[in-house]
């Protein structure tokens, strides 16, 4: 027995209230789709939830619905840069003779009424609180008013968080880092023999295998030659401004320093004796890693930028590190990987859980201890 139109519309509102306010799903605009609602949450087990009001009267129509879902999901996967995407479809008007079949990525639920949800294995396993959360003390117009107000408040809160996350911020730390690098570059010419002189570089703290761990930090702010300085400060300005906008001032400084130090530790382990190295390249690649980590975690909003801008830039820079002679590829790779790692440790505002941060802290500490041991005590 199918739901009446009035009961079906009310159940749809209850489902929207549950998934939006309780499970942090957001509506998806899917062009060409009628009488169904799509919701997404890239952090949930079911990244897509469909509420279908269309009447499905036979298996052929259901097959077409499955085909349509697969096509739409492929588009969303490309947009959000997602490899696997589980879909849950709630059918509110399904002929009793039509049989539903689940697969690993597409789960289907027949909704006859609210009580039928208690017997469904998928709902019991993935959304055990759904039946109780669909019950309200309000009735009639008061119920509709409460549902609408709750959804509106949730959407406004979400909008405020997104605006806060993506709003421009003054690149204070980025400008300070560029100033330090510039001052040291000038000093190497004013009180030394220039930024290409090995003795001057060594005196100012360039990286060499001499057991001095302070050079892991000081060498980040030195550059060999004007071109090297100009390229890195330009990259630092572009990337630093973005990282500072996404993570804030303090986290940007920590990402920069940690990535630079880890890149230098890897360099000490792998580079030859007598080689001198300097530059913010490892730290800058750490900023790239931080942007990539942010974009992956916010791919609902940055999916296109991730695919068209961020990944191509990273791939090109990594390739140049292997192809262009004289580039410290070890610092690049170490900085990039550690940039992603320290970003998971510091976390993304409104996003990263305490458990993820603790895991990141443990991994970050283990990485530092391991590399210090290999670089200075082996």
Q: What is the pLDDT of residues 205-258, one digit of tens each?
A: 999 988 899 999 999 999 999 999 998 999 899 899 999 999 999 999 999 999
> Distance between CA atoms of 168 and 181, rounded to whole angstroms?
24
> Distance between CA atoms of 151 and 149, rounded to whole angstroms?
6
**Coil, strand, or helix at residue 343?**
helix
Q: What is the pLDDT of residues 107-132, one digit of tens each?
A: 999 998 888 898 899 999 999 999 99
Look up residue 241 and give its two tokens.
Answer: 């401004």
DSSP lists the bridge partners of residue 91 as 52, 110
C-alpha distances out from residue 130 to 100, 190, 349, Å? 21, 71, 28
Reported as half-sphere exposure (CB side, CA atoms, 13 A), residue 298 has a value of: 23
* H/E stretch holding 305: helix 299-305
User: What pLDDT is stored for residue 365 in this prediction?
Assistant: 93
pLDDT tens-digit profile, the chain (378 residues) = 566 778 888 899 999 999 999 999 988 877 666 788 999 888 889 999 999 988 888 889 998 988 888 888 888 787 777 778 899 999 998 888 888 887 888 899 999 888 889 889 999 999 999 999 999 888 888 988 999 999 899 888 888 888 888 888 899 999 999 999 999 999 999 999 999 999 999 999 999 988 899 999 999 999 999 999 998 999 899 899 999 999 999 999 999 999 999 999 999 998 878 788 899 999 999 999 999 898 888 877 776 676 676 777 777 777 766 666 667 788 888 999 999 999 989 988 888 888 888 988 999 999 999 999 998 887
User: What pLDDT is stored for residue 2 in this prediction?
Assistant: 61
> Distance between CA atoms of 203 and 356, rounded to whole angstroms?
41
**Coil, strand, or helix at residue 191?**
coil
pTM: 0.80
Would you name the residues annotated as active-site residues?
281, 332
User: What pLDDT is stored for residue 104 in this prediction?
Assistant: 80
> Distance between CA atoms of 293 and 302, rounded to whole angstroms?
11
User: What pLDDT is stored for residue 312 in this prediction?
Assistant: 76
User: What pLDDT is stored for residue 366 in this prediction?
Assistant: 94
Instruction: With beta carbons less than 8 A apart as the criterion, state whether 49 and 25 touch.
Output: yes
> Distance between CA atoms of 347 and 18, rounded to whole angstroms?
27
Exposed / middle / buried, residue 101 (Cβ in 10 Å: 0-12, 13-18, 19+): exposed
User: What pLDDT is stored for residue 13 in this prediction?
Assistant: 92
User: What pLDDT is stored for residue 31 in this prediction?
Assistant: 66
* Fold topology of 169-376: Rhomboid-like fold (1.20.1540)
């Amino acid at each position: 027995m199918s739901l009446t139109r009035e009961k079906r519309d009310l159940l749809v509102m209850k489902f929207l209230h549950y998934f939006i306010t309780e499970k942090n799903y957001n509506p998806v605009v899917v062009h060409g789709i009628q009488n169904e609602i799509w919701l997404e949450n890239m952090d949930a087990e079911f990244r897509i939830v469909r509420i279908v009001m269309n009447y499905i009267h036979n298996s052929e129509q259901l097959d077409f619905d499955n085909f349509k879902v697969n096509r739409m999901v492929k588009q969303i996967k490309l947009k959000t840069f997602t490899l696997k995407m589980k879909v849950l479809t709630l059918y509110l008007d399904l002929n009793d003779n039509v049989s539903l079949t689940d697969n690993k990525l597409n789960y289907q639920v027949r909704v006859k009424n609210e009580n039928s949800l208690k017997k469904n294995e998928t709902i019991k396993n993935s959304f055990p609180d759904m039946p109780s959360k669909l019950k309200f003390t309000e009735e009639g117009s008061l119920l509709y008013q409460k549902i609408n107000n709750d959804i509106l408040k949730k959407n406004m809160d979400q909008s405020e968080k997104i605006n806060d996350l993506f709003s421009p911020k003054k690149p204070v730390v980025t400008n300070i880092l560029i100033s330090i690098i510039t001052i040291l570059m000038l000093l190497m010419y004013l009180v030394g023999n220039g930024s290409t002189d090995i003795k001057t570089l060594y005196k100012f703290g360039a990286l060499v295998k001499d057991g001095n761990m302070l050079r892991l930090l000081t060498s980040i702010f030195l550059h060999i030659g004007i071109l090297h300085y100009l390229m890195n400060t330009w990259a630092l300005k572009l990337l630093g401004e973005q990282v500072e906008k996404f993570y804030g001032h303090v986290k940007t400084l920590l990402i920069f320093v940690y990535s630079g130090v880890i890149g230098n530790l890897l360099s000490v382990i792998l580079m030859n004796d007598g080689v001198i190295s300097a530059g913010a390249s490892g730290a800058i690649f750490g900023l790239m890693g931080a942007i990539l980590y942010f974009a992956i975690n916010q791919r609902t909003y940055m999916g296109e930028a991730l695919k068209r801008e961020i990944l191509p830039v990273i791939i090109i820079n990594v390739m140049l590190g292997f192809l262009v002679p004289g580039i410290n590829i070890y610092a690049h790779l170490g900085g990039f990987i550690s940039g992603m790692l320290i970003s998971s440790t510091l976390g993304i505002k409104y996003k990263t859980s305490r458990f993820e941060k603790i895991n990141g802290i443990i991994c970050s500490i283990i990485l530092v201890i391991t590399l210090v041991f290999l670089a200075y005590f082996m």
